[in-house]
């Protein structure tokens, strides 16, 4: 490929309402210890009333554009499970909020794998020469689909947004993104789902069953499939790029559960010290989790130019995907 995609800027945003475990334990049958030992999560952030996915996405996007030193981008690709409305897509609203009049903008829906899918889509736009820059955002207000009666999911997810600006380039080297490994298995759609609200339930002629309007997840089965698929996908992408596990400086995975991250690192043979983990502070933010974790690590000064990052995610669909990124020398903080 003569044209490749390079990381030019990064940013993230968390809503203001911090929710520690104790606050959830006060209103449902759970405890700080139960949540911490099973998930590694200590707190998460929920968007305040009136704040939607497009608000979080626009703020993270603005920060990424500032980091790239750009006032405009050629396209906006938004990964989200929690769009402002079922129709239309949320990305055009985000583009409008960013003052990007006329800019092509669309959503990508691959649940927790969404950001990796959106990155791949953006790389395609750049490789085809459609545009020269793409703002890729992962943003969620997952709190809007959580079932307050389901302690298993209510304690895991949080709201937030992360974004990257990709720029086309003609060489590999620092900043280069890709290749990719992507996959899906629709026979597993019931494992991670919101059953009601789509054509299937509406066309059934039946009212939604209680709780079906909320997100649900089969935790144990998902745990196992997440580790297996991310490991397989990560190995595939390492094979494509010609890296060994020992070449990876940072494992930047979807922040699903701390125990999944630990198990995945073990399976891949990557030391835990090289695993980016911010799930304790922000919970599982679905499509936002990878850019959010990478941006927080960048802001904390953990990367140097040339560091090799392995990105991998697993989510509803089922979907999974992995890619690699060589950290650039970002000049606009």
Partner 1 sequence: MSDLTYETLVALLVEKFEVLPELIRPGVTFADLEVDSLFLVELLLVVEREVQAAIPDDAINAQDTLERAVDIVREHVATAGTR
Instruction: Tell me the catalytic residues.
Output: 112, 254, 284
Q: SS3 helix, strand, coil % of the chain, rounded to 5?
A: 40, 25, 35
Are 96 and 84 a contacting pair, CB within 8 Å? no
Does residue 38 belong to the site contacting partner 1 (CB under 8 A)? yes
Does residue 220 belong to the site contacting partner 1 (CB under 8 A)? yes
- Give the DSSP letter string of 96-160: HHTT-TT--EEEE--GGGHHHHHHHHHHHHHHTTS-SEEEEEEEE-GGGT--TT-HHHHTTB--E
| Residues paired with 77 in a beta bridge | 106, 136
Does residue 267 belong to the site contacting partner 1 (CB under 8 A)? yes
From 228, 243, 245, 249, residue interacting with partner 1 (rule: CB under 8 A)? 228
Does residue 208 belong to the site contacting partner 1 (CB under 8 A)? no
As given in the structure block, the two tokens for residue 76 are: 């906006």
Angle subtended by helix axes 114-127 and 289-299, to nearest 10? 80
From 42, 240, 259, 308, residue interacting with partner 1 (rule: CB under 8 A)? 259
> How many residues lie near partner 1 (CB under 8 A)?
13
Stretch that binds partner 1, among 47-55, 172-180, 181-189, 222-230 (CB under 8 A): 222-230
Query: Distance between CA atoms of 92 and 108, rounded to whole angstroms?
Result: 12
Least distance between partner 1 and beta carbon 194 (Å): 23
Stretch that binds partner 1, among 109-117, 214-222, 289-297, 304-312 (CB under 8 A): 214-222
From 190, 221, 247, 272, residue interacting with partner 1 (rule: CB under 8 A)? 221
- Chain contacts with partner 1 (rule: CB under 8 A): 37-38, 219-221, 223-224, 227-228, 259, 263, 266-267
């Amino acid at each position: 490929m003569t044209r490749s995609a390079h990381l030019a800027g990064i940013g993230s945003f968390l809503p203001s309402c911090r929710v520690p475990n104790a606050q959830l334990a006060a209103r449902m049958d759970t405890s700080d210890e139960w949540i911490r030992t099973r998930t590694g999560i200590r707190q998460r952030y929920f968007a305040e009333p009136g704040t939607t996915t497009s608000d979080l996405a626009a703020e993270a996007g603005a920060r990424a554009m500032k980091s790239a030193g750009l006032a405009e981008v050629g396209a906006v690709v938004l990964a989200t499970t929690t769009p402002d409305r079922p129709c239309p897509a949320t990305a055009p609203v985000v583009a409008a909020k960013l003052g990007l009049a006329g800019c092509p903008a669309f959503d990508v829906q691959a649940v927790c794998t969404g950001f990796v899918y959106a990155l791949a889509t953006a790389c395609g736009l750049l490789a085809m020469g459609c545009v020269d820059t793409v703002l890729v955002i992962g943003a969620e207000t997952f709190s809007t689909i959580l079932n307050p009666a389901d302690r298993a999911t209510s304690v895991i997810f949080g709201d937030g947004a992360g974004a990257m600006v990709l720029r086309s380039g003609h060489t590999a080297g620092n900043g280069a993104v890709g290749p990719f490994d992507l996959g899906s298995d629709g026979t597993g759609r019931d494992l991670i789902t919101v059953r009601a609200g789509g054509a299937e339930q509406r066309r059934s002629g039946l009212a939604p069953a209680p709780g079906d309007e909320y997100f649900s997840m089969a935790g144990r089965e998902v745990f196992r499939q997440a580790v297996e698929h991310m490991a397989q996908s990560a190995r595939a992408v390492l094979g494509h790029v010609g890296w060994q596990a020992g070449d990876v400086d940072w494992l930047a995975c979807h922040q699903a559960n701390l125990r999944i991250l630990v198990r995945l690192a073990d399976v891949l043979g990557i030391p835990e010290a090289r695993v980016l983990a911010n799930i304790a502070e922000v919970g599982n933010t679905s499509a936002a989790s990878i850019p959010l974790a990478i941006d927080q690590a960048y802001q904390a000064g953990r990367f140097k130019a040339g560091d090799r990052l392995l990105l991998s995610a697993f989510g509803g669909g089922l979907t999974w995907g992995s890619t690699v990124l060589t950290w650039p020398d970002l000049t606009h903080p």
